[in-house]
Amino acid sequence: MTQDIAISSASDLPAAGSTTASRKVFIKTYGCQMNVYDSGRMTDALAAEGYVATEEMEEADLVLLNTCHIREKAAEKVYSALGRLRETKKARAAEGREFMIGVAGCVAQAEGEEISRREPAVDVVIGPQTYHRLPQALKRARTGERVVDTEYALEDKFEHLPDPKKAKAGPRNVTAFLTVQEGCDKFCTFCVVPYTRGSEVSRPLAQIVGEAEKLVATGVRELTLLGQNVNAWHGVDAAGQELGLGDLLYRLAEIPGLARLRYTTSHPRDMDDRLIEAHRDLRMLMPYLHLPVQSGSDRILKAMNRRHKAAEYIALIERIRAARPDIALSGDFIVGFPGETDEDFEATLELVRKIGYAQAYSFKYSTRPGTPGADLPDQVPEDVKTERLARLQELLLQQQHEFARSLIGETIDLLLEKPGRLPGQLIGRSPWLQSVNVDAKSSQIGDIINVRITAAGPNSLFAEVAES
């Protein structure tokens, strides 16, 4: 799942005994949850060097743009931001103050030397597989070297990163992301991930469990496992037995203090029996599944190289729902893929009607340079894509609202995550990932309480504490 978001990375870590304790870093994060996780790990790596994270870019000595290449004109947005940062760097230089600029993430991987050539103010360009080298790259940059490190690392970056501390116990850190898999071997013709994140790589079981245990020890109660193709995760146990994501979920469910598990993003071809069994057996595995289909037309699915048919996807959903009847579905859709006809688009609408989604992400197709889709004939006119997207989103929004309204009167478990806007109000996430507002003066962040849903708004639910 990819969303257009931009957040600043912050930490309550003290400096780690370094001479650079006064330096502050601001990280602006674009894109998916994996970038959010990566920004947190870069913050951890820099904290070990004495950097303190800040939410105010104006007070930072180092600004990192952690970029996403999944949407159209992603690189242009980065260059626009770099232009503004260049002026800040000039002003700081006139004051005799250090101000360093770094570009990380998928645009860094894709553009590499071009970023350094077009924007000389950039000190460091570093890819998603090499950000564990960031402290060393900054040291090199301070000697005057312009560092571009986008080669795929031979070493395991996770072994070189310090223990995660971003999720230190606190009012907003009862949930955490945990990357278990990176890269993709599916080569969908619209997607840049295999070119920017590389081929599929799974983290070892012991490494994942160790990081999960440390996160739980800091107060985390809910973990979301991340991967570009997370259900392709595979590993081996101590006995050398082959494991899949379902097995990993069963193992993580044994960690004392961990209350909830989620994972994203999945591919239909990797939803195996063991993973479906985990949805059946593990109550702590939340009944919410993001499973992109992209199109309801077999002809377009073949052109996308999705390697499944619409009927196969529908049958898979039926199996999952049979195992976990309360599961809610989320998906991704692309409209206007090259060659998409009115009939192809109607097939997508029909699939959406058959499945019924609690939430979904839908986009107009945009060409990604270097992908096979960029060279396909029969590109769909922009006005046609716009009209189709509006129709699809109207249907998806209707289904989202219907699902939310269906919960009114239901009693659910709610993990409280942060304060609300009103005195005594707290906000949590439902098992189906919706934001829920509740007046819970006697509870605190990190509690899981029973609430009764009383109303459904456009983007959130409202609840009252249920009588025990």
| Listed residue (64, 15, 68) closest to 40, CA to CA | 64
Alpha helices, DSSP H, located in 113-204: 113-118, 134-142, 157-160, 193-196
Is 106 among the annotated ligand-binding positions?
yes
Is 184 among the annotated ligand-binding positions?
yes
Tokens of 349: 């609408």
State the Cα angle at 27 between 66 and 80, rounded to 5°. 60
Is 191 among the annotated ligand-binding positions?
yes
> Is the distance from CB of 456 to CB of 434 less than 8 angstroms?
no
Extract the runs of DSSP E, i.e. beta strands, from 208-327: 222-226, 234-236, 242-244, 260-264, 288-290
Angstrom distance (rounded) from CA 289 to CA 279: 10
> Is the distance from CB of 131 to CB of 125 less than 8 angstroms?
no
Q: How far is CA 192 from CA 73, 185, 336, in A?
A: 13, 11, 18
| Listed residue (82, 84, 47, 53) closest to 67, CA to CA | 82
| Listed residue (422, 356, 355, 362) closest to 388, CA to CA | 362
Phi, psi of 406 (to 5 degrees): -65, -15
Is 188 among the annotated ligand-binding positions?
yes
Is 38 among the annotated ligand-binding positions?
no
> What is the helix (H) or strand (E) element at residue 67, kind and residue range?
strand 62-67
Tokens of 246: 């379902």
| Listed residue (45, 46, 43, 35) closest to 6, CA to CA | 35
Half-sphere exposure of 200 (CA within 13 A, CB side): 18
| Residue 289 amino acid letter | L
Angstrom distance (rounded) from CA 255 to CA 343: 49
Residue written as token pair 């377009």: 300
Q: Which long-range contacts link 341-349 to residues 24+ away (Cβ below 8 Å)?
A: 343/297, 344/295, 344/296, 344/297, 344/299, 344/300, 345/297, 345/388, 345/392, 347/295, 347/296, 347/297, 347/298, 347/310, 348/295, 348/296, 348/297, 348/392, 349/296, 349/391, 349/392, 349/395
Is 328 among the annotated ligand-binding positions?
no
Alpha helices, DSSP H, located in 356-424: 382-406
Q: Which residues are annotated binding-site positions?
A: 32, 68, 106, 184, 188, 191
Q: Which residues are annotated binding-site positions for [4Fe-4S] cluster?
A: 32, 68, 106, 184, 188, 191
